[in-house]
Amino acid sequence: MRIGYGEDAHRLVPNRRMVLGGVAVSSEVGPLAHSDGDALLHAITDALLTAVAAGDIGQLFPDTAPENAGRDSRVFLQRALSIVRAHGYRVAQLSAVVVLDRPKLGPYRGRIQASLAELLGIGPGEVGLAFKTSEGLAPEHIQARAVVRLVPQ
If the CB atoms of residues 53 and 137 are measured against ligand C5P, the closer one turns out to be 137
Give the 3-state secondary structure percentages of the chain, helix then strand then coil, rounded to 5: 35, 35, 35
From ligand C5P, Mg ion, none, which one binds at residue 145 (CB under 5 to 8 Å depending on kind)?
A: none
Q: Angle CA(149)–CA(151)–CA(153) in degrees, nearest 5?
A: 140
- In angstroms, give the least distance from the CB of 47 to ligand C5P: 21
Residues 80-109 contacting ligand C5P, CB under 6 A: 100, 104-106
Interatomic CA distance for residues 76 and 108, integer angstroms? 22
- From candidates 82, 133, 140, 151, binder to ligand C5P by CB under 6 A: 133
Do residues 129 and 146 make contact, with C-beta atoms less than 8 angstroms apart? Answer: no
Residue, CB closest to ligand C5P: 106
